[in-house]
Amino acid sequence: MNIRTLCLGALSFKEASGYEIKKEIEDGLFSHFIDASFGSIYPALTQLNVEGLVTLRAEEQTGRPDKKVYAITDAGHDALAKALSVVPARDKYKSEFLFEMLMQHYLSPGHIIVALEKQLADLNIDLSQMNQCKADSSQMRVPGCEFVMGYGEAVLTAGANYIELKLAELKSQGLKAAE
């Protein structure tokens, strides 16, 4: 997936500024897909506008420059559908935590427990945020939201369950977290 497709996808839900699209990619509905910087979002929006796939209007703001608000066009919806009609590439998963666990023979058991506990806490935060997102998106009535949320919840829950199992194993051996 490229930034153009991501921008069209975000705009298919509602019109937005480049800043608002960036926030959705960082913290919102689109935060679990791909990363995008302002340096890639704004050129993509400019090109989409030139191609007639989005419209642009200036929204006046007090004491600030006009806000550029983008909206998807019918041609943009068609382009989005076409871009999405390819089989997606294999997911890429990058994790500093998993690297550390791979190299755990360099770590003390106490550090491993701390790392596992932190990862478990992070997964639980993500699950909590996902549940909030599920509640927030329930009024959107987008069929794909339910699938994405369910898939994310299943993956996060499986990861949390596995870490809980490993923590229990280490603690049953009398090991404690490093202080």
pLDDT digit string, tens, across residues 72-112: 999 999 999 999 999 988 988 889 999 999 999 999 999 99
Whether the CB-CB separation of 73 and 54 falls below 8 Å is answered with: yes
* 75: region left, alpha or beta (phi > 0 left; psi from -120 to 50 alpha): alpha
**Residue 137: per-residue pLDDT:** 61
User: For residues 161 and 172, what is the distance between their CA atoms, to the nearest angstrom?
Assistant: 16
What average pLDDT does range 29-53 have in this prediction? 91
> Does residue 20 surpass a pLDDT of 60?
yes
Residue 121 scores a pLDDT above 90: yes
**Averaged over 2-19, what is the pLDDT?**
94
Tokens standing for 107?
């770590």
CA distances from 157 to 44, 79, 107, 121, 163 (A): 35, 35, 26, 12, 10
Q: Which of 94-103, 138-147, 162-171 has the lowest mean pLDDT?
A: 138-147
pTM for the whole thing?
0.75
Question: Lowest-confidence range among 58-67, 92-101, 132-141, 148-157?
Answer: 132-141
DSSP string, 33-78: T----HHHHHHHHHHHHHTTSEEEEEEEETTEEEEEEEEE-HHHHH
Q: pLDDT class for 128, splitting at 50, 70, 90?
A: confident
- What backbone torsions phi and psi does residue 143 show, to the nearest 5 degrees? -55, -40
Residue 140: predicted pLDDT:
62
Confidence of residue 141 (pLDDT cuts 50, 70, 90): low
Taking all residues of the chain, what is their mean pLDDT, rounded to a whole number?
90
115 pLDDT band, cuts 50/70/90, is very high
**What string of DSSP letters covers 121-160?**
HHHHHHHHHHHHHHHHHTTT--HHHHHHHHHHHHHHHHHH
The pLDDT tens digits for 50-71 are 999 999 999 999 999 999 999 9
pLDDT of amino acid 145 = 79
